[in-house]
Amino acid sequence: MTQLLLFLIFLAPTIQYRVVLPWFSFAAMEPVVLLASAALILRSRVRGEALRLPRTWPEIGLMALMIWVALIRPWAQDMQHGLSDVRDWVIPVVTFVSLRMTIRQGWREAVRLMVALALAISVLGVYQRATGGLRPFMSAGARFKLTADWEAVVGPSWDQSGIISLCELHAERARLAQQGRLTDDFEKGADQLQDGSAFAVGLFAHPNSLGMFLSAGLMLALGWATERKDRQHWLALAVIGAALFWTYSIGAYVVVVVELGAYFLLRNLRSAVVTGAIAVSSLVATVGLFAVLPSSALNPLCWRYGLCTTAFNLLSASPLILLFGNGMDHFGEVAYYFQPHNMYIQMLLEYGVLGLGLSLAVFTSVVAAGWHDRLAGLWEKDALLLASWIAVLGFLAAGMSDSVLLGIENRMIVLCYLACYLGLREEQIRSRMLDLEGSLMIRSGAQI
């Protein structure tokens, strides 16, 4: 029963369908995760189990962020959207808290469920790549995925003479959008595109979201394959990797490369100095690679650069956003895209410095926990624990190019992976303590 409820919670945010009623709209995942969470709590109470929330920073930080959101978002320029955003934080955080309170063991099986889900969605993604069909919940904007840029559809509406680089071009677009002089219509361009581009999107609204989900799922699958060392798990890893490749999400590609590098370095090198030296060398090599790439390859990066210039100009003109947030509505009015495609900027605009700080503090506590595990030698015995830690931190890297915490489904996905890591870690720590107690009892018995 518990495994079924866990699977429903994991599955729900991967089906990105929104029910729209005349007076109300909600994501299809909302009733599913709420009912599953209620069932988990009821099951624990029927069994007479105490509901104790671990007093660690991930839980404290997320609850503090939820309260902060509830305090500031009702004062948004669009109050209805602000209240909806409050709900979009409350439901994932409450579900995460219910998982942490009710499930104290069996997290390895929970991770296995997550890997099985990633594999099933990957099979669908491979089919979508092969046929170009069966993408029921794909958004209109996803049709631009395999176009060079959406201006190729609607045509640039300004004089580009004198512009010498792509980043300069997008900065100019951002300036014209802020002045209300950019007449290109994103939605119009989407309507003019055909739906035949073959890429993997699963049941997500956009292939970038699937890429984010699979980048973490790939790490969990790698952890399982490393531990089990059988052909079936390596085959599952290959299928997930193929589906991720066919999302054509450049951000996901970069994240996976970083994750795989971190996994093999941390698994095989004990010296922090050597690991750090290799990491710095890799960073320098990456910068050098960007320097020699053709300008067309940098288009996605420069497109995001233009959005960043709009965000910083908005913060300069309205510094109160740093204190009280609620800047995303205004950003959508003046930018050439409705969101900045950067988790850190999006959190800063929407929730101010405090909201961004709380979210970063949650991830920082995960970094600290992992470093403690490394020093304690837990990663040497548990490849899955290391893989799940890297999977969670991969969202930090993904946040550089995508708004990872934008939308209720993406938030729920991140918190599901976080719950898996924290639960798995607690199981490993308890197991190690029991082993130590057993060895101490054996020693004391031998002395007697």
Who has greater pLDDT, 274 or 196? 274
Residue-level pLDDT at 295: 59
Q: Which two tokens stand for residue 269?
A: 């090198």
Average pLDDT of 177-181? Answer: 75
Segment 34-44 shows an average pLDDT of: 94
Mean pLDDT of the chain: 84
Whole-number percent of the chain with pLDDT over 70: 82
Closest alpha carbon to 201 in 17, 419, 4: 17
Q: Please name the residues in contact with 14: beta carbons below 8 A apart, sequence gap of 6 or more.
A: 117, 121, 202, 203, 204, 213, 409, 413
Whole-number pLDDT of residue 229:
78
224-242: average pLDDT: 88
pLDDT of residue 148: 45
Q: What is the pLDDT of residue 265?
A: 86
| Cα distance between residue 397 and residue 254, in whole Å | 8
**How many whole angstroms separate alpha carbon 270 and alpha carbon 377?**
10
- pLDDT at position 351 over 60: yes
Distance CA(238)–CA(401), nearest Å, equals: 25
d(CA 316, CA 178): 13
CA dist 447 and 161 (Å) reads 88
Across residues 224-250, what is the average pLDDT?
Answer: 89
Between 356 and 301, the more confident residue is: 356
Phi/psi at 52 (5° precision) = -115, 125
Helix 272-292 with 250-268: angle, nearest 10 deg? 150
Pick the residue with more confidence: 294 or 242?
Answer: 242
**Residue 188 reports pLDDT greater than 70:** no
Which stretch, 139-143, 189-193, 440-444, has highest mean pLDDT?
Answer: 139-143
> Which pLDDT score is estimated for 430?
83
Taking the C-alpha atoms of 200, 202, 206 and 211 in order, what is their torsion angle to the nearest 10 degrees? -70
Name the region of 266 (left: φ>0; alpha: ψ -120 to 50; beta: rest): alpha
State the pLDDT at residue 291: 60
What span, in angstroms and rounded, lies between the C-alpha atoms of 437 and 416? 32
Tens-place pLDDT, residues 141-176: 776 665 544 443 334 554 555 555 677 777 777 877
| CA atoms of 122 and 138, how far apart (whole Å) | 16
Banded model confidence at residue 184, pLDDT cuts 50, 70, 90:
low
Helix H or strand E segment including 146: none
Is 90:100 a contact under the CB 8 Å cutoff?
Answer: no
- Residue 212 in this model has a pLDDT that exceeds 90: yes
pLDDT for 387 equals: 95
pLDDT tens by residue, 272-305? 676 677 767 766 776 666 666 665 666 778 888 8
Between residues 267 and 299, which one has the greater pLDDT?
267
Cα-Cα-Cα-Cα torsion 14, 20, 25, 26, nearest 10 degrees, comes to: -20
Give domain limits for the chain.
2-447
Residue 233 reports pLDDT greater than 90: no
Instruction: List, in sequence order, the alpha helices (H) in 293-342.
Output: 299-317, 321-324, 328-334
| Rounded CA separation 329/16 (Å) | 22
Return the closest-CA partner of residue 12 out of 413, 443, 422. Answer: 413
Non-local (6+) Cβ contacts of 152 within 8 A are none
Q: Which position has the token pair 């104790």? A: 52
CA angle 8-10-11, nearest 5°? 65
Among 8, 15, 2, 51, CA closest to 33: 8
Q: Is the pLDDT of residue 394 over 70?
A: yes
Structure confidence by residue, pLDDT tens digits, 62-85 = 999 999 999 999 998 888 889 999
What is the model's pLDDT at position 198? 81
Q: What is the pTM of this model?
A: 0.89
